[in-house]
A and B are shown apart, each in its own frame.
Chain A
């Protein structure tokens, strides 16, 4: 029972990382109807920037927030400059640009920082200040950070005018433009926010997984599984899906398939959802008219 609780809780903790990245993916998907396959690599690259800052002597949290600004700018840049020429192009072109970005960020990170694994600091104390031994302090901190991120994003979209404008731009670009919302900038802002959320996921994952250019490959897969499970057009569903995938992955890894088939669990989740409930647990079922 203790071991089970331990696995469950640490599944929740890693699920938080998947939830953050899934949220980032869905935010982009909602406004552009494209899956940003480069989202994981953007997060990985941002995490390298954080590593550089920490190496340069910045205190952790300063480096953390500077990285968020960088990741935000990177997201805006990708949306407003790299994706601009294919804005009205076919689905295929956009996917290809995302794949190109994935490859470029991966190789540039390898180019600058080499492929050797690097340790990344955790901002949380090494000694548990609480009684239980189920979770490491970093895992507890990770959960806290995830909850703060989710709360902030929720509050932003729910209570601010800008958040409302962004939701409007995603839901109905034409009408939004008519009432004076600059839709292009709203999309860019969404992409920037997604980049920053992804960077948080990267910085939280790096102390556990160690920093290397392929670090986010698996996480992106789990995040995709989470997004599909929760419903790819529902941010909160996707975040919950991410947490669920984290739990399922951990429990399945501990009791069913062993650690070496964990990625396959994500693949099975994706294929399973597509077979039985394509709209996901909380997604809308879209009926198209001829």
Chain B
């Protein structure tokens, strides 16, 4: 028996139903944590579109997360727009910012994009502290936000925020999934697998690369916007290089070039630190680093790949062929 599309769809709806019911069964802080899981899932998916599907190694997505977060914070405090109306603006700004930053770096092969985005990630906190824009960004202090109120009296604001994030997450994943499944998605993957063949098939590789960078930045920016709403606070020092690295860790641990991997990666990012913190303040990052290298060595398809492998073995009772287990170009 194979997993038919119908079985998949039923499974998907079951997970969705569970996700909707979740905030009504767990305590307040857990609701916040799961809100952050959804938020990170969007960010990891954004990083995965660029790094996993398009093969462009970007290490600076934290910068776009910061732009999204700050856009929401500034608009909510200065323009009086309702919180939900700030999301599309944050998305648009991040898309343009990503597209423009990608243009110079993506013209070149090799390590240049990784290098330029690494530089962007390192410089971000300092840029946000710049006193020339302090009037808007609040400088080192950052900005406090109001928590969005629930529109119905039946649920509290934490639960509402979770459900709001869930709605946005569903929209973003449907958008992303459709993008990757269609013609554009095939072009994106073709550029990763063989740039020269892709361009000889008529794909404008540099345009597609920059667009993919823009889309990735947009996803990350929306995640940043939701993250700002969830934590009700933005400050320069929360957007360090390590934030960018944690998205990449989410991509690799969750599964490179998989859609579901984003959720596994996000759960990992959100729930490992509280446990590891009990050992040492530095322990979460040590675990991130070790697992990152371990995944590259031994589990190149991440958790999503592992589940896929297990699923195939259970349903077919035979090991899958190697071409089926490596959607990403992690092995030569």
Contact = CB atoms under 8 A, between A and B. Distances in A.
B330 A218 contact: no
Nearest to A288: B109
Given A111-B280, A274-B105, A82 B293 contact: yes
Given A97-B293, A271-B104, A106 B331 contact: no
Interface string B287-299: 0111011011100
B123 interface: yes
B127 to A, nearest CB: 6
Contacts, number: 151
Given A111-B282, A217-B122, A260-B131, A96 B252 contact: yes
A264 interface: yes
A217 B281 contact: no
A289 to B, nearest CB: 10
A68 B119 CA distance: 27
Nearest to A266: B119
Interface stretch (A33-41, A46-54, A144-152, A159-167): A33-41
Nearest to A228: B115
B288 A263 contact: no
B18 to A, nearest CB: 32
A93 B284 CA distance: 21
A267 B119 contact: yes
Nearest to B116: A270
Interface residues of A, number: 52
A115 B111 CA distance: 31
Contact of A263 (B57, B101, B126, B282): B126
A274 B296 contact: no
A85 B297 contact: yes
A127 interface: no
Nearest to B126: A263
A35 B129 CA distance: 29
A198 to B, nearest CB: 17
Contacts of A37: 59, 114, 118
Given A96-B252, A260-B126, A217 B241 contact: yes
B119 A86 contact: no
Contacts of A138: none
Interface of A: 29, 33-35, 37, 82, 85-86, 88-93, 95-97, 99-104, 106-108, 110-111, 115, 217-218, 220-221, 224-225, 228, 232, 258, 260-264, 266-267, 270-271, 274-275, 278, 288, 290
Given A104-B289, A220-B122, A260-B126, 18 more contacts: A37-B59, A89-B330, A90-B331, A95-B59, A96-B293, A103-B242, A107-B282, A107-B289, A111-B280, A111-B281, A111-B282, A111-B283, A221-B123, A225-B119, A261-B130, A263-B127, A271-B116, A275-B104
